[in-house]
């Protein structure tokens, strides 16, 4: 295990099992809809690529880069910036937003509002992690992977200051790592 990690919250086995379960649910709910899966970079990239391999129907996917946390901050500002927009028109599409984590809810709240103005036919959310303790915007998450307590987590796509995204599990960062940097 990486020495900056205090403990593992979601193991590789649990990640696999969660992706299989979510993939089955989405396969059932989106048969014949040709949904557009929208990956919110960069955190959701690893989850997205595992998830879609478990979705056994025709789909399309695209990527969007938004950011709410800046650099060294471990809490959100409430601002969501679009760094890279989608290339795919959303009008008439069944959209599945793929996120790694919902924390305050600002990111997803803003994206839903935006996608509605683009006339998506339907919008649902799949989030690998849900941290309900810190919610400010009460967004409905249709597909939740794992609920976690209020800890600063990294790995499986999630970063602290752009590091740890490549860890194959979700771990809790040792507090001394983010207080001394
Ligand atoms: C993180 C995470 C979610 C969002 C959740 O992304 O990946 O997208 O914050 O927080 P919220 O519910 O409080 O809005 P971040 O903005 O750090 O960008 P990243 O995915 O590139 O790391
Ligand atoms: Mn993100
Ligand atoms: Mg981040």
* 3-class SS letters over 70-95: CCCCCCCCCCCEEEECCCCCCCCCEE
Could you report the per-residue pLDDT of 110-128, keeping only the tens digit for each? 999 999 999 999 999 999 9
Query: Which CATH number goes with the domain that contains 101?
Result: 3.40.50.2020
Six-digit token string for 109: 């709240």
How many other C-beta atoms are found inside a 10 Å radius of the C-beta of residue 177?
18
Residue 106 CB less than 6 A away from ligand 1 = yes
- The confidence score (pLDDT) of residue 72 equals 47
Which residue out of 63, 70, 77, 101 has the highest number of ligand 1 atoms within 8 Å of its CB and is therefore the one to mutate?
A: 101
Residue 172 falls within a domain, yes or no? no
Number of domains in the chain: 1
Ligand 1: which residue has its CA nearest to atom 3? Answer: 101
Does this model's pTM top 0.90? My answer is yes
Please choose, from the candidates 163, 128, 126, 119, the residue with its C-alpha nearest in 3D space to the C-alpha of residue 148: 128
Residue 102 falls within a domain, yes or no? yes
| Model ipTM over 0.95 | yes
106: containing domain: 12-152
Residue 159 falls within a domain, yes or no? no
Residue 174 falls within a domain, yes or no? no
Active-site amino acid positions: 103
Residue 127 falls within a domain, yes or no? yes
Ligand 2: centre distance to CA 152 (Å): 14
Judged by its nearest atom, the ligand closest to the C-alpha of residue 83 is 1
Could you report the per-residue pLDDT of 137-155, keeping only the tens digit for each? 999 999 999 999 999 999 9
Residue 157 falls within a domain, yes or no? no
Could you report the per-residue pLDDT of 36-66, keeping only the tens digit for each? 999 999 999 999 999 999 999 999 999 999 9
Residue 50 falls within a domain, yes or no? yes
Residue 127 CB less than 6 A away from ligand 1 = no
Three-class SS state of 136: coil
Residue 173 falls within a domain, yes or no? no
């Amino acid at each position: 295990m990486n020495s900056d990690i205090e403990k593992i919250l979601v193991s590789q086995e649990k990640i696999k099992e969660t992706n299989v379960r979510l993939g089955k649910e989405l396969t059932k709910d989106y048969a014949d809809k040709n949904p557009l899966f929208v990956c919110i970079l960069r955190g959701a990239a690893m989850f997205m690529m595992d998830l879609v391999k478990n979705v056994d129907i025709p789909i399309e996917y695209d990527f969007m880069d938004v950011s709410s946390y800046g650099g060294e901050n471990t809490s959100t500002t409430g601002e969501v910036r679009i760094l890279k927009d989608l290339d795919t028109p959303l009008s008439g599409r069944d959209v599945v937003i793929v996120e790694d984590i919902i924390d305050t809810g600002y990111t997803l709240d803003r994206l839903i509002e935006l996608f509605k103005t683009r006339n998506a036919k339907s919008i649902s959310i799949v989030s690998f992690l849900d941290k309900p303790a810190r919610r400010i915007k009460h967004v409905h998450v249709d597909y939740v992977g794992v609920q976690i307590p209020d800890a600063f987590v990294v790995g499986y796509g999630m970063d602290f200051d752009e590091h740890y995204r490549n860890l194959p599990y979700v771990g809790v960062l040792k507090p001394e790592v983010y207080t001394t940097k």
